Structure 1
Amino acid sequence: MRSAPMSTPDVFSEGRIGPLTLRNRVIKSATFEHRAPGALVSDELIEFHRRHAAGGVGMTTVAYCAVAPEGRTEYDQLWMRPEALPGLRRLADAVHAEGAAVSAQIGHAGPVADGRSNRVPAIAPSRSFDPRAMRPVRAATEDDIARVTLAHADAARLAIEAGFDAVEIHLGHNYLASAFLSPKINKRDDGYGGPLANRAKVARGIARAVRDAVGDRIAILTKLNMSDGVRGGLTVEESLQVAKWLEEDGGVDAIELTAGSSLLNPMYLFRGDAPVREFAAVFPQPLRLGIRLTGKRFIREYPYEDAFLLADARRYVAELNLPLVLLGGVTNRETMDLAMREGFQFVAMGRALLREPDLINRIRADPATESLCIHCNKCMPTIFTRTHCVLADDIP
């Protein structure tokens, strides 16, 4: 149970996550950048994060740093290995030069991975079929689980060597650990399936392995699904219990609360317009036609409102002592201040910063500043080419 609250912090005051002190409480959330050809850091990826750092965030998060080759959503996604170290160091140096911290979101895509692009079979809690890759997805063995768990620890060590300030363990969006948490996806009948305590073993094991590997040399956050957003998936009640276990285990320093399933319901996190036509355009036939005809069933539309995850997220504030990060519909000073009053220690922003990388500096200078993001979500299909806001004047 959360202890008695201190005075409400100013969002532009320093904030602490484990051993790390940030210059303010705004975090650039992980957004797949599609700027890592050959699964390595590029100059474009460095510039993408440098601009967000220069724009005023306290910390920027490098998205989807896969811990294993089959754990990538596609071939040109950053993969944490020794060959990536020089580029990671240059990226960290560029962000630090702008006064911000940098985090690596480490994870394994599991059933969300594209086995055809990666040229390595994807794994999931249970055997399934990936219609995008037109290939089967095999059930992870106990050896796979042990290997992937160790790979997270190795990725965190590599982040330290590269000069990163934090890692964010990806336990959301039905990536591998999140898929194990989901009763809709996890149909196992062994010690990793069935009751929540079994389904949570992978997530808890990964967090503990990272902590054991790095101690307090680096801040450890996790991005945790509150709900999968689908019938039969992970519920808020189950997720809250997982969060309590993570806190008790001591594996993480802060939790960023998220929702939705990249596999089953991606728009549950991205409220606003559903760009079905734009999604269809990035795929070859016959997938393009299929998405045009049936896309509304998968790419569902949810109305946008400020702080749209707050109703569920405030339940975690009441039950946990760990610093919590509010994500979803944070685009202006009013919503940032609301988050601080509600007991969140940090806020995370994504789409609004794609439109305006300097938005935080502008809000700090003038609290009445409003974001130019119109929640059209046409940035989402650009993750398959080069992630950007299609309405922005320039593309970082």
Structure 2
Amino acid sequence: MTAPDVFSPARLGPLTLRNRVIKAATFEHMAPGALVGDDLIEFHRAHAAGGVGMTTVAYCAVAPEGRTEHDQIWMRPEALPGLRRLTDAVHAEGAAISAQIGHAGPVANGRSNGVHALAASASFSPLSMQKIRKATHADIERVTKAHAEAALLAAEAGFDAVEIHFGHNYMASSFLSPLLNKRKDEYGGSLANRAKVALGIARAVREAVGDRIAILAKLNMEDGVRGGFQVEESLQVAQWLERDGSLDALELTAGSSLLNPMYLFRGEAPVKEFAETLPQPLKLGMKMTGKKFIREYPYREAFLLDKALLFRRELELPLILLGGISERATMDRAMAEGFEFVAMARALLREPDLLNRMRENPATPSLCTHCNKCMPTIFTKTHCVLA
């Protein structure tokens, strides 16, 4: 069977995307007061004009304590007018738009949000230097319901899809991790117990929106941390999600924003640049010990492909390949290997119009150097420092 052209239209649940390239979620820091800002609209409009099939807005928290920091979209009625302006701008350029919804859990900055972060188990946050509170049964029920309400709000605002965040040791991911989940109740211990939060959220979202919009999820294949969530368990969770019929597609990711962030990115580790964003004495601490937290992994194209192929062989669910995609040849290989979509981030930060030029000339190179100096810009307004 001939592999599809990455620039050909494709079905995604109830949607037809103009091509098979998705702008992956990258936190933009363009939502002052937890509301859509003009810069955020222009950011996604530019990527839509640049040729993506769908752009993903990151990160839309489902609850106030679920934000990674205060100035991050929180899905509530007050956000609706701005969200509608955002979706209208993207649609005017011919692209679809997805809202990444989730709860940051232990990755949330409790001090910035004015309320303690929440996770599977209690611990201490190096981000806010505060206690992370263990989620009660009432919290789990509230957060699950909040995901469904956020998806409904996204549909009302004109989004074509939602992407539920089950990765990077955010709240649902913290439950999946045997390292972070030390609970003794029905949400801890066995994988079936640890997966209840993620499975329950996916079901709640599907029950809320039905087939009005596409439903995706971002799932860690592994945390990249000793004792954390591993590939074998992730594959089982993916099979359970497929069995439930809650999702239209699954985006495969890796790494822990809490414990090992560079495992997702690969390439240079911008420790000095991260340190410059911090106040003293955190700045000094980052400069002295930052390489233990921001570890460096060599970059290579499609660095998550080998593990993602394990999922492709076992699942019928449409899969989105993420990680180190910056060349047309990589996209073509993903299509040949049976992936329905590819997701790009850093290369498009450097060149939002890269896809338009690749479509015209497949030999067009990406100018992204994988220096990762875009990463510390999430504390101001996310951008490529070389562009």
TM-based fold match above 0.5 = yes
**Partner letter of residue 92 of structure 1?**
T
Of the three residues 287, 290, 293, the one matched with 2:285 is: 290
String of CA shifts for 1:247-278, please: whole Å, max 9, x gaps: 00111110000000000000000110001000
**Partner letter of residue 158 of structure 2?**
G
SS of residue in 2 equivalent to 1:61: strand
Q: Which runs of 4+ in 1 moved over 6 A?
A: none
String of CA shifts for 1:218-248, please: whole Å, max 9, x gaps: 0000000000001000000000000000000
**Partner letter of residue 200 of structure 1?**
A
For residues 1-396 of structure 1, the aligned pairs below 5 Å read 6-392=1-387
TM-score (norm 1): 0.97
SS of residue in 2 equivalent to 1:347: strand
Distance apart, 1:64 and its partner CA: 1.0
**Partner letter of residue 191 of structure 2?**
L
Gaps of 5+ in 2: none
Note if contact 2:107-2:127 (Cα within 8 Å) is conserved in structure 1.
no
**Partner letter of residue 199 of structure 1?**
R
**Partner letter of residue 269 of structure 2?**
A
TM-score (norm 2): 0.99
Distance apart, 1:134 and its partner CA: 1.5
Distance apart, 1:131 and its partner CA: 2.2
- Aligned equivalents of 1:382, 1:221: Cα separation in 2: 27
- Aligned equivalents of 1:172, 1:132: Cα separation in 2: 18
**Partner letter of residue 222 of structure 1?**
A
Distance apart, 1:316 and its partner CA: 0.6
Distance apart, 1:132 and its partner CA: 2.4
String of CA shifts for 1:310-345, please: whole Å, max 9, x gaps: 010001110000110000111011000000001100
Name the structure 2 match of 1:3: none
String of CA shifts for 1:7-26, please: whole Å, max 9, x gaps: 31110011111101100000
Note if contact 2:374-2:382 (Cα within 8 Å) is conserved in structure 1.
yes
How many residues were matched structurally? 387
Percent of pairs with identical residues: 77
**Partner letter of residue 212 of structure 2?**
R
- Aligned equivalents of 1:276, 1:284: Cα separation in 2: 14
- Aligned equivalents of 1:315, 1:20: Cα separation in 2: 27
Distance apart, 1:43 and its partner CA: 0.7
- Aligned equivalents of 2:341, 2:360: Cα separation in 1: 19
- Aligned equivalents of 1:277, 1:326: Cα separation in 2: 30
Gaps of 5+ in 1: 1-5
Distance apart, 1:120 and its partner CA: 1.2
- Aligned equivalents of 1:202, 1:132: Cα separation in 2: 24
Distance apart, 1:165 and its partner CA: 0.2
